[in-house]
Amino acid sequence: MDEPYHVFLQSYGDTELFVAKRTAGGFEVRVRGTEMANTEFSYRIVAKRKGFESPPRACAVGR
């Protein structure tokens, strides 16, 4: 994956949406099978916070 995030789409109409392009500045949503569509949709972006890409290391806690 070139960009470290995922985009989840939810269409509120009878259209099939997909993410055509992802960049550091944004993403492009398109409709499959038609040139134009006027439909509402929502999106959710999930990413790892910069600097926290690796899982945390376990450490011993003393009393």
Beta partners for 26?
A: 23
Sequence ranges of the domains in the chain: 5-47
Beta partners for 45?
A: 7
DSSP letter (8 states) at residue 47: E
The three-state secondary structure class of 40 is coil
pTM above 0.75, yes or no: no
Q: What is the CA radius of gyration of the chain?
A: 18
* pLDDT (tens digit per residue) in 3-14: 689 999 999 998
* DSSP states along 1-16: --SSEEEEEEESSS--
Helices (H) and strands (E) in the chain, counts: 0, 4
**Section 17-39 average pLDDT:** 89
